[in-house]
A and B are shown apart, each in its own frame.
Chain A
Amino acid sequence: MGKEQFYEEYEVFSRKKDGLSLEHRFSLLAPNREMAFVMARENFFRREPIKELWVVKRSDIRLMSQEEREGFKKLDNKAYRETKGYANLPKLWKYFEEKRETGGVNP
């Protein structure tokens, strides 16, 4: 019996409560999807309540290489996509407020 073939790696994901995202739990070995599901429940959710449970065959996931992961670290110039990229706005508003107080702007 080919043990290598017999067990396959599954990744386990779960949602703890409504409103929360799915979270990666861990991996396990199982001979098929149904067994993976049963074992995931037994392995990871003996105590804690759980809303949803997914098992995914690892070979069906497009994983990242180390090079790719290290490449992702370089995402440091995307401030324009975030609110923090617009931190100077209050200062600009202040300019107009001060101008109004000194009577510089006609409403």
Chain B
Amino acid sequence: MEVIHYRELTDEEKYEHFMERIENDEKIEAGDWMPDEYRKALIKLISSHGASEIMGALPEKEWVPKAPTIDRKLSIMAKVQDEMGHGQLLLRVAEDLLKPMGKNREDLLQDLFSKKLKFHNVFHMPSPTWADAAIIAWLVDGAAILTQTMLLKTSYGPYGRALKRICQEESFHAKHGESLVLALASGTEKQKQMLQESLNRWWEPLLMFFGPKSTKDIGHSSVDINMKYKIRFKTNEELRQEFLTKYVEKIQLLGLTIPDETICFDEEKQEWIYQQPDWKKFKQVVSGNGPRSDARISLRRDSYDESEWVREALSDYKNKNQSLVG
């Protein structure tokens, strides 16, 4: 192999070399040359993944003060903290990608507050009972694990390294969720009913979580670009099918009813048949018009504004110390 001198290459040659690296399953690093399309696709994917982690902590956070036992409180608190930690990791990855565009964390947060930066549909939904905390931890995290495991081999090195850590922690979350669900499913009639009602609320959002099957459903999709650059490896529908294969039987085993009379496995086609979720509603929800969108975004903004004084104080401290050193 010959030494590549980047400055001497034309844009087409750079692109060709980049695609060669992608084909050879090399990992792309933050400072590497990359086509704008690749950078933009990564920024879109990773910043909304990061925002989803941070906003995803909120529906469960509501249950920290109301957890039924001290053990449950400790584990749900640990999970909420993990989600915020994942947000930190992912925002760092996004920030390094945004740097050449002159943007930083502040911009990402402002985009989140103004609904320009989107996050997963499930985190716009209410979590009115303890059973919602159970279903979220078991099935929403279960769905997230499938997506994130698929992304582990992503062509972007820093994202893959962050995901490795995230997946390790998510496996604890899924166990925590399983434990909650099993307790409720083997509890009193009232507990079982609470679990069933929660499943009814979450079923459609869970199917939506993976995104539409074809671009026709919401008008556009970045799946093709992401596959071309090996950022991701499976389509939305493949992931949704995996989810159904992994969970439908388990849900039924617990004595729960899936709120879809049409759901069945087509042996001939080897795929799940199910009632399509309402994709118009999906688009509306992820645009920030879900039942809890405004309340949660406000909470996040208030928390950011209220901690402004801490950043001010630390900034003064830093400037003062710099002048002392200087």
Q: Which of A26-34, A77-85, A87-95 contacts B (4 or more CB under 8 A)?
A: A26-34
Asked if B92 contacts A31 (CB within 8 A), the reply is: no
Q: Which of A3-11, A14-22, A49-57 contacts B (4 or more CB under 8 A)?
A: A3-11
List, in ascending order, chain B residues with CB within 8 A of A28's CB.
Answer: 88, 92
In the docked arrangement, what's the CA distance between A3 and B106, Å? 7
Known contacts A66-B31, A69-B29; decide if A46 and B315 are in contact (CB<8 Å): no
List, in ascending order, chain A residues with CB within 8 A of B315's CB.
Answer: 1-2, 5-6, 31
Per-residue contact bits, chain B 290-326, to A (CB 8 Å; 1 contact, 0 not): 0000000000000000000001101101100100000
Report the minimal beta-carbon distance from B260 to chain A, rounded to whole angstroms. 38
Interface residues on B, range: 20 to 34
List, in ascending order, chain B residues with CB within 8 A of A46's CB.
Answer: 78, 81-82, 85
Asked if B89 contacts A26 (CB within 8 A), the reply is: yes
Asked if A71 contacts B3 (CB within 8 A), the reply is: yes
Per-residue contact bits, chain B 183-199, to A (CB 8 Å; 1 contact, 0 not): 00000000000000000
Asked whether B101 is an interface residue with its Cβ less than 8 Å from the other chain, the reply is: no
List, in ascending order, chain A residues with CB within 8 A of B162's CB.
Answer: 26
Asked whether A60 is an interface residue with its Cβ less than 8 Å from the other chain, the reply is: no
Asked whether B241 is an interface residue with its Cβ less than 8 Å from the other chain, the reply is: no
List, in ascending order, chain B residues with CB within 8 A of A32's CB.
Answer: 314, 317-318, 321
26 contacts between A and B (CB under 8 A): A1-B315, A3-B104, A3-B105, A4-B104, A5-B315, A6-B318, A7-B104, A7-B105, A26-B161, A26-B162, A26-B165, A27-B96, A29-B92, A31-B314, A32-B314, A32-B321, A42-B85, A43-B85, A44-B165, A46-B81, A66-B6, A66-B31, A66-B32, A67-B6, A69-B29, A70-B3
Known contacts A29-B105, A67-B5; decide if A1 and B311 are in contact (CB<8 Å): yes
Partner-B contacts on A (CB < 8 A): 1-7, 26-29, 31-32, 35, 42-44, 46, 63, 65-67, 69-71, 73-74
Asked whether B60 is an interface residue with its Cβ less than 8 Å from the other chain, the reply is: no
Asked whether B33 is an interface residue with its Cβ less than 8 Å from the other chain, the reply is: yes
The residues in B between 54 and 88 inclusive whose CB is less than 8 angstroms from any CB of A are 78, 81-82, 85, 88
Asked whether B4 is an interface residue with its Cβ less than 8 Å from the other chain, the reply is: yes
In the docked arrangement, what's the CA distance between A27 and B105, Å? 14
In the docked arrangement, what's the CA distance between A10 and B166, Å? 20
Report the minimal beta-carbon distance from A74 to chain B, rounded to whole angstroms. 7
